[in-house]
Amino acid sequence: MDLPVFYAPDILPEATAYTMNEDTSKYCIQVLRHEKGDKVLLADGRGHKFTADITDDNRKKCVVRILDRETVPPPARALRVAISFTKNAARIEWFLEKATEIGIQTIIPLVTQRTEKEKIKAERLQNILVSAMLQSQQFYLPDLQEPQAFDKVIKHHHDPQRLIAHCLPEQKQALRDVLQPGKDTLILIGPEGDFTPDEIKGALEEGFVPVSLGNTRLRTETAGMVAVAIIATSF
């Protein structure tokens, strides 16, 4: 049985003990019913994995003793997804959860001409990323960036592999045929209603490669998830 993982964003690398915050303490002691002496893992979201045991099972201030620390190797390459957030918050939240589980390094909320949602609830979304990271036993928290305008994203990101998934019936290849595994990748996922022809033209001029995610019409969050599933399992 795997040890449960708890989030310790403010733990110091050389720590010998750590006090969980109130929410985490409650979750650990009251919900999961851990007790003094139980072994747990801590993740700081920056690749450090601490093995610890509970020395004080206080349900508001759970204290653990650090037994071991290791640095989990970072992913060999970065997967960045710039995606137009959906009007329906649940849909993009679902994407964030699933993308984190599968393996993503950076999420950029993309503001396109047809994007209807430009503001994000950063704290709520951050909590979703943390839960998904812990749930999937990972130790690097994805970086959720501030919303960025489409033009800025296509001009200022220089990942070696830059892709745009769009629905226009123009010449494009299947993502899996274009994909070069092992390269840092940025993929753009458009809003409901797709990118505008001008946006697509602009991206192609900047060197983005147009790709298709299959033969069916996907919702934004589904397109994002399919892209992550294909790219993350190709490295």
Binding site for a second copy (CB under 8 A): 2, 94, 98, 101-103, 135-138, 174-176, 213-219, 222, 225-226, 229-230, 232-234
For residue 173, the minimal CB distance to a second copy (Å) is: 12
For residue 174, the minimal CB distance to a second copy (Å) is: 7
Strand 39-43, strand 48-56: pairing: antiparallel
SS3 (DSSP) at 68: strand
Return the number of the residue (57 or 221) whose C-beta is nearest a second copy.
221
Return the number of the residue (37 or 76) whose C-beta is nearest a second copy.
76
Rounded Cα distance between 31 and 231, Å, is 36
Judged by phi (left if over 0) then psi (alpha if -120 to 50, else beta), residue 37 lies in left
Return the number of the residue (167 or 204) whose C-beta is nearest a second copy.
167
For residue 154, the minimal CB distance to a second copy (Å) is: 25
Return the number of the residue (1 or 123) whose C-beta is nearest a second copy.
1
Return the number of the residue (202 or 214) whose C-beta is nearest a second copy.
214
HSE-CB for 186 with a 13 A CA cutoff: 20
- E strands, 116-184, in order: 143-144, 148-149, 161-165, 173-174
* Contacts of residue 228, Cβ cutoff 8 Å, sequence gap at least 6: 79, 81, 98, 99, 102, 103, 104
For residue 206, the minimal CB distance to a second copy (Å) is: 25
For residue 50, the minimal CB distance to a second copy (Å) is: 18
